[in-house]
Structure 1
Amino acid sequence: MEFLIADTFTGSLARLTGDEQKIAKTTAFDFQMNPVNPGMALHRIDKSKDKNFWSARVGRDIRLIIHKTKESLLLCYVGHHDDAYAWAERRKLETHPKTGAAQLVEIRERIQEVVVPQFVEATVPTKTAEKEKIFASLSDDALLGYGVPTEWLADVRAADEDSILGVAEHLPEEAAEALLEIATGGKPKPREVAPATPFE
């Protein structure tokens, strides 16, 4: 069984205090040595859209989020209980359709506000200049080639100079870096196609 560590794990580890980091690192090492250790209180995260996310107890309030399959164990995130569970409930691990890379993708949830009509006198709207959509000229295939997840294509296309950073925060790191390079006038290389399994 392969033992892997995601970039999101190291990023979340850095946000913990020194003492919390020590116990998280020790638990990660213990988990690597014995993934079935009953002292870790390992259990599936029920509300997660990806049923392979599990939680392991690190300390009183610290939880380690793991993506567990028959072939691999991936350390994904570490944080305080509620934060860690919320992180896992909003993500899924998938293989990118074009690049073949394994990506932890933030799940899109649609919240629709019901608008109650109000009758008011019509006013002539003032015309405001619409900001240029940075990625409007790029094809879906080109965006996928930079690692943009399929479900985020519409948001990326709608991004302008005011919203690009907000969109980039929700994308996998390689996609965000490529889009920010394009936004600043650069031309990143499309990602190379990964091997048959993203964990090789």
Structure 2
Amino acid sequence: MTLTPNLYMADSFLESFDRLPQGQRKKVREFLGKFRSDPTAAGINYEPIHDTRDDRVRTVRIDRAYRAVMLHPNMGADYVLVWVDHHDEAMAWAKNKLFPVHPATGAIQVLDLELVEEANSRAADELAAKPLDAYALFETFADADLIRAGVPEMLLPSVRALHSADGLERLRPYLPPEAHETLFYIANLGCAVDEALRHAGVEADTPVDATLALEH
């Protein structure tokens, strides 16, 4: 018996879907219908990506030219769509990505490892230039608190190096949006983590009805 799949969609998937020509959007919707009927059908054409940094990543066939990037986190009935694009572009986009889970919401975050390395390198330079008596912006928060605020573990060194709100703003392009917003409330309003999460509107995710979400 085939399990009915639970389809989730990362914000990155919706952004990539919005860039597609109208005809390709229709094909994505058709694919979703077929996928929900039987995620094990041969026509889904799961393909791993060689040398990817996240072994949960697969691509699936939309048509001869387009593929979607999908995570199958627990090998059960849950699937997460994270990107859709031309075949080669989809493969290239996914190859250097990691997809950690936000601990407070269960939402998938998208991390580009090249950007993570760049952010941590810049943080190390800033830390070396920081005055010895400078106050670290989040020094009173444990790593577990920052992770709960949405900071990916790999970016903790960058966040730990911050000593001003301006520095947090410079780090913004490297952080998941919900993590930056939560840190903003902590740094600028003195909020505790739970209060900052509420201000940022961060709530637990629920399964997405992919067909309805793409009807636009």
Normalising to structure 2: TM-score of the pair?
0.64
Q: Is the 8 A contact 2:70 2:79 kept in 1?
A: yes
Give the deviation of 1:64 after TM superposition.
0.5
For the pair 1:85 / 2:87, whether they are aligned, the reply is: no
Q: Greater strand share, 1 or 2?
A: 1
What is the aligned partner in structure 1 of residue 137 from structure 2? 135
Where does structure 2 lack aligned partners over 5 or more consecutive residues? 122-128, 208-216
Q: Alpha carbons of 1:94 and 1:61: their partners in 2 closer, same or farther (altered >3 Å)?
A: same
Q: Alpha carbon RMSD of aligned pairs, Å? A: 3.6
Normalising to structure 1: TM-score of the pair?
0.68
Q: Alpha carbons of 1:33 and 1:177: their partners in 2 closer, same or farther (altered >3 Å)?
A: farther
Q: Alpha carbons of 1:135 and 1:81: their partners in 2 closer, same or farther (altered >3 Å)?
A: farther
Q: Is the 8 A contact 2:185 2:196 kept in 1?
A: no
Q: Alpha carbons of 1:19 and 1:94: their partners in 2 closer, same or farther (altered >3 Å)?
A: same
Where does structure 1 lack aligned partners over 5 or more consecutive residues? 114-127
Q: 2:100 is paired with a residue of what secondary structure?
A: strand
Q: Is the 8 A contact 1:134 1:183 kept in 2?
A: no
Count residues with an aligned counterpart: 179
1:170-194 alpha-carbon deviations (Å, 9 max, x no partner):
43342133134446647472559x9
What is the distance in 1 between the residues matched to 2:156 and 2:98? 17
Partner AA of 2:81 in structure 1: L
Q: 2:91 is paired with a residue of what secondary structure?
A: helix
Give the deviation of 1:147 after TM superposition.
1.3
For the pair 1:43 / 2:47, whether they are aligned, the reply is: yes
Partner AA of 2:104 in structure 1: T
For the pair 1:4 / 2:40, whether they are aligned, the reply is: no
Identical positions, percent: 26
